Amino acid sequence: MTVERATTYHNFLKSWVEGLTVHHPHTLNHAKRPNVHVVFHIYDFLLLFGPVISWWCFPFERIIGFLQKINTANHIGGELEGTLTKSFLRGANLRRWLRRSDCPEIIKQFKAIFDRAFAPQSERAGTSPPLVRDSNHAHYMFNGTNFSCALMHLGNSLVLYYPSTSASEPIAGSIEKIISRGDKTSFIIRCQAPLPTGQFDPFLRYYPYFPAQTYSTKMQNTTDTVHPSMILSHGARFEFSEDRAVVLNLSRS
């Protein structure tokens, strides 16, 4: 997180709030919402705690979901919950230590043993094995990420990819086929047609802070055949008008 990014967040938010009564005049008659006030404080938290991904509530939501699924055979009332909460906090403290530059050597040494016992999910998932007979995959795991053909799961088929090794910019597309020949796997991707010249991309002014780009809603007539490593990330696509679709870069790096 940089001061510049946090300030940009603040400015975008301000222009959104200012635009609200202009574009949706009925909001003038509403009581002021506390949410609109509260989101401005995210600016302070960005500066204090860094990117939201480090302090958002998803991990806690996840642990609540995990706790609710535990079969306790009605043994509720304190002890079990206490034990679970303590283990969770111990785990969090350990991870916090491991991220610190002054992490004691002994904790680092234990991490090596721990990693061998409990490999991270992405490493466990790894890459799908080749098929016994040459054929097509409906979905394929590459380096911990699950890709699907459009017919199987449209969302998992939307990607940003480099159409060739010489391409400098990734483009958006949808995986049509995943072909397995011997131990070689290739993705056949139909790319999203570019925005026709002269059409307006309303997301351009937020780039690169909000890494979304507008394309045509149409697909190209040609496909690219690429190695899975040419895929940068999944993308999310939303058709916001008859002829324009926005594609958001979902890269985790």
Residue 233: Cβ within 10 Å count: 17
Number of helical (H) and strand (E) elements in the chain, helices listed first: 8, 9
Is residue 146 close enough to count as binding ligand NAG by CB under 6 A? yes
Is residue 143 close enough to count as binding ligand NAG by CB under 6 A? yes
Distance CA(96)–CA(90), nearest Å, equals 10
Residue for token pair 């301000």: 14
**Closer CB to ligand NAG, 2 or 29, in the complex:** 2
Beta bridge partners of 148: 139
Distance CA(51)–CA(47), nearest Å, equals 8
Q: How far is the CB of 160 from ligand NAG (least distance, A)?
A: 6
**Closer CB to ligand NAG, 35 or 222, in the complex:** 222
Torsion sign, CA atoms 95, 99, 101, 106: positive
Is residue 218 close enough to count as binding ligand NAG by CB under 6 A? yes
Which residues ranging from 169 to 208 are in contact with ligand NAG (CB under 6 A)?
170, 193
Query: In this chain, which stretch among 4-12, 29-37, 56-64, 146-154 interacts with ligand NAG, using CB under 6 A?
Result: 146-154
Is residue 152 close enough to count as binding ligand NAG by CB under 6 A? yes
The count of residues interacting with ligand NAG (CB under 6 A) is: 19
Torsion sign, CA atoms 135, 223, 221, 195: positive
Question: Rule CB under 6 A: which residues touch ligand NAG?
Answer: 139, 141, 143, 146, 148, 152-153, 156, 160, 170, 193, 211, 218, 220-221, 229, 249, 251, 253
